[in-house]
């Protein structure tokens, strides 16, 4: 009676289970990832060729929509109560930076008023957010 001889030497490991696990992990992370939406307020930003990336940590955000409604950190405010709220918001932030996101169709006068309020409230750095063309 003859037996099959098992070859001794290098055996190639089966990589199929490893590939299956990698794809399962990829699918898991794709399904459970939380994508952060930058803006809750729909704003059509104006374009600027010199637009730069801005670090958005601990920054007070002021948004102006196309109907000239003003939002302080996604909370609707009127122009009269904006400055006191801006002063209190800047007191709680270390770097005292303000970002103004104005809609392309909003008025220039309201943006200038908000810029002046931010300076009076003690903002050391005021950025006007645009998008690249």
List the CATH number of the domain containing 71: 3.30.420.270
Q: Is residue 36 part of a domain?
A: no
Number of domains the chain contains: 1
Q: Is residue 24 part of a domain?
A: no
Give the C-alpha separation, 22 to 36, whole Å: 25
Buried b (16+ CB within 10 A) or exposed e, 88-113: ebbeeeeebbbbbbbbeebeeeebee
Give me the domain span that covers residue 108. 60-128
pLDDT at 21 over 90: yes
Res. 39 pLDDT band, cuts 50 70 90: low
Q: Name the pTM for this structure.
A: 0.56
Q: Is residue 84 part of a domain?
A: yes
Q: Is residue 15 part of a domain?
A: no
Q: What's the Rg (C-alpha) of the chain? A: 27
Q: Is residue 48 part of a domain?
A: no
CB count within 10 Å of CB 123 equals 25
**Bigger pLDDT: 43 vs 65:** 65
Give the C-alpha separation, 5 to 132, whole Å: 69
> In sequence order, which residues have a C-beta less than 8 Å from that of residue 84 and are 6 or more positions away?
none
Q: Tokens standing for 88?
A: 């209190």
């Amino acid at each position: 009676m003859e037996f099959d001889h098992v070859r001794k030497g290098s055996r190639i490991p089966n990589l199929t289970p490893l590939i299956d696990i990698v794809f399962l992990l990829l699918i898991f992370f794709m399904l459970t990832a939380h994508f952060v939406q930058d803006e809750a307020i729909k704003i059509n930003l104006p374009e600027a060729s010199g637009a730069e990336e801005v670090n958005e940590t601990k920054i007070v955000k002021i948004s102006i929509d196309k109907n000239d409604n003003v939002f302080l950190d996604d909370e609707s405010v009127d122009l009269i109560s904006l400055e006191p709220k801006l002063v209190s918001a800047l007191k709680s932030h270390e770097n005292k930076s303000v970002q103004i996101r104005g809609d392309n169709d909003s008025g220039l006068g309201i943006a200038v008023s908000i810029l002046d309020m931010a300076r009076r409230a003690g903002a050391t750095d005021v950025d006007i957010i645009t998008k690249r063309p």
